[in-house]
Every structure is written in C-alpha cells, then in structure tokens.
Amino acid sequence: MAMQDRVYNFSAGPSMLPLEVLTRAGSEITNYGGSGMSVMEMSHRSKAFQKIFDDTQAKFRALLNVPSNYKILFLQGGASTQFSMVPLNLIGKTGKADYAVTGNFSNIAYKEAKRYGEINVAANSEDQNHTYIPTQEQLKLSPDASYFHYCANNTIYGTEWQYVPETGNVTLCCDMSSNIMSRPVDVSKYGLIYAGAQKNLAPSGLTVVMIREDLAGNELPFTPLMMNYKTMIDKDSMYNTPPCWCIYILGLVCDWLENLGGVPSIEKIKRNKAQMLYDTLDSSRLFTAPAQVGSRSDMNVVFRTSNDDLDAKFVKEATEAGLTSLKGHRNVGGMRASIYNAVPTEGVEKLCDFIRTFDKNN
Ligand SMILES: *Cc1c(COP(=O)(O)O)cnc(C)c1O
C-alpha cells in the first residue's frame, strides 16, 4: 500500500494506525457492509453493531489467548479511569495494595489508590530518574496485599518490564497501555490487565480491560455504578453506549495483526525495529539513550544529545524529513521515538538513516 502523503509519525499516543486499517475504514465510512449507514451512526443495540462487537471481542481473545474465565471489557474513560477503578473494585479484600512506581503513570495510579486504602510502595525507581525496572529481588512485597499493581511499559521514560513479577497468592494487576499486543502475555498469571487503546490498539476513547471473573463484585460500597466492573460484566460492556467506532477500528486492527501472523510475529518485528534503533543510537557519537540496558522499552525509545539546542535542531530537521512527533515528553526532554506496532519497519529504517546522517554532520 502506498504511503501517499503520509509521514512516519512517532507520536506517543494517539499514534499511528496501520494504513490498511485506515483505508478500509475510509472505504466503509458512509456505508458499512451494505447497511446504508456508517458504524458511527448505528445503534449499539443493532444486529450489525452487535456482530462487530462480538467479532472484535473474539478476535482480541484469540490473539492474546485470553482464557475463558476472563471477561474482556470495552470501556471508556481512558487508562486513567482504571487508576481509580482498580482500587475501588479490588482493594476491599484486605484494604491494602502494593504498587511499583516506575514512571509517570504508575505514580499517578499509586497516588489515586492511596485515596482508597493503605498502599505500600513495593519499589520506586525515582532514585535513578526512572531509568530502570526493579528486579524481582528489589520488590518489597506484602503478603496481605489485595493486589500488586505495575505498569508494564513506561511510555514517558522508555523502560519496560522484561519479566512478570512473581507475587505468590497476591493478584497481579497491570497497566499495559503502551505495550499490549507487542508480545505474548500469559493472561492467566494476572487478575486484571488494562490498556488505553490509543497506543497500540485503536483511536482514543476505548479502554480494554481483561478481568478474571471471580474478582468482580467485591467493590467498595461507594463505588459509582459506572466504575463497577460487575455492572459492565453483567451487561457485556453495554450497560450504556460503548465507544462503538473505536471497537470497530480495534476489530480491523485485530484483523491486521492476525494477517501478519499474530502476536508472535509482531513480537519479532517490533524486536527487530527496536534493536535497529538502539544499535544506531549506541554506535553514534552524539546520542545517548538513558534507559538502562535490560530495562529498555521496545515501544518508546528515549534518547538525546548532550545539548538542548541540538535536540531541538534534530526534532526540527527530522520533521522536515517526514519523521514527526519526535520531541521528548516535557518531564524528560530530548527525543522519544514511539515505535508501536503500526509504525512500519521502513519508518524506523528511515529514522536510523536520519540519525546516522545527523551524527555525521553535527
Ligand atoms: C497513555 C498512558 C496512560 C494514560 O492513558 P489515558 O487513556 O490518557 O488515560 C496510562 N498508562 C500508560 C502506560 C500510558 O501509556
């Protein structure tokens, strides 16, 4: 498929979607499957939409091998709403929970959870500006925690957990917003996984939650109806109007992933893209990647020169070369290349070429 007038967009989110998906959605935008209407205009109770919904759920379940005792929910409110929903629904067991703070979002999740119970910080990587992921041995776990919460990929700091924490009988909860579908996951090790869609799945407005069924129904008494997993499980995410358009696009993204060979194939592709980029940075004179080897993210590659003006020049010239949204997050500075599933290998190759040329000329 031709790139036409498109750029390689390294945005952290919302971010690139596969061109095939956009083209298909475009071709169906005024008349979905002979219905004479757009998916945007359809009743969520219609047969046509129910099929889109059921198919999307089934495709998602198949791609990630989600066991049958887990519900897949399609919710709104972004990953940030899960920062409240997780404690509201799960902390009632013992009133306590463990949190690993390894970046911006896990810190927000931790601060929000403190409103609802006694929170133990199992690890905090702030001592080294969140450039590393704690080892299993470094986790200070509480045996009486209702759950352990961590963020699998730190979108802003560019670090990623390369192992699944071992927490014994304590339920694992994970924010996978920025690396879901980039590697196989043994869902059965978790009680709950959530992901905002706008990094690796679909447009913003949809949050996917996978929850082991038996965990729902123990919410704190003041939990709002809309923030109760049980409400959404009982009505299969259709207690109210779900984010219909996003669910439809997620279905198309699942088709695209399936055609590529599923998650094991995409894992190889993304590993290759990330390795190529880190190798290029490591062998340059000008650039450094602060994330420590062994903790580096395959999804968000954070890097910089030693000079803010040179960083700005890099971002400006890259944009002119059709490589956009490379400016780092304001908390970190420098550059960040988010190379989610939909960023083609060719885009990363172009970025590597650009880095090498810039390194030579400056
Ligand atoms: C983007 C992001 C969030 C926030 O998602 P919203 O949908 O904006 O609420 C939370 N966690 C991680 C890991 C993210 O990358």
Q: What is the pLDDT of residues 148-198, one digit of tens each?
A: 999 999 999 999 999 999 999 999 999 999 999 999 999 999 999 999 999
Percent of the chain whose predicted confidence (pLDDT) is above 70: 99
pLDDT score, position 1? 46
Q: What is the mean pLDDT of residues 16-36?
A: 97
The Cα–Cα gap between 164 and 152 comes to 9
pLDDT attached to residue 115? 98
The CATH number of 262-361, from 3.40.50.460, 3.40.630.30, 3.90.1150.10, 3.60.70.12, is 3.90.1150.10
Using a 6 Å cutoff on CB, does residue 175 contact ligand 1?
A: yes
Model confidence pLDDT, tens digit, residues 251-290: 999 999 999 999 999 999 999 999 999 999 999 999 999 9
CB environment 227-241: b (16+ within 10 A), e (fewer): bbbbbbbeebbeeee
* Residue intervals in the chain for CATH 3.90.1150.10: 262-361
The pLDDT of residue 3 is 59
Residue 198 CA: nearest ligand 1 atom is 7
Q: Which of 80, 101, 133, 149 to mutate to test the pocket of ligand 1 (most atoms within 8 A of CB)?
A: 80
The per-residue pLDDT for range 31-58, each reduced to its tens digit, is 999 999 999 999 999 999 999 999 999 9
Check if 80 has its Cβ closer than 6 Å to any atom of ligand 1: yes
**Ramachandran region of residue 4, left (φ > 0), alpha (ψ -120 to 50) or beta?**
left
Instruction: For 1-19, write each residue's pLDDT tens digit.
Output: 455 689 999 999 999 999 9
Query: Which atom of ligand 1 is nearest to 106's Cα?
Result: 11
Q: How far is 276 from 48, CA to CA, in rounded Å?
A: 43
Mean pLDDT rounded to a whole number for the chain: 97
Nearest ligand 1 atom, CA 156: 15
Domain 24-258 grouped into CATH 3.40.50.2300: no
10 Å CB burial of residue 226 (0-12, 13-18, 19+) is: middle
Mean pLDDT of 300-309: 97
Assessment of whether the complete model's pTM goes beyond 0.85: yes
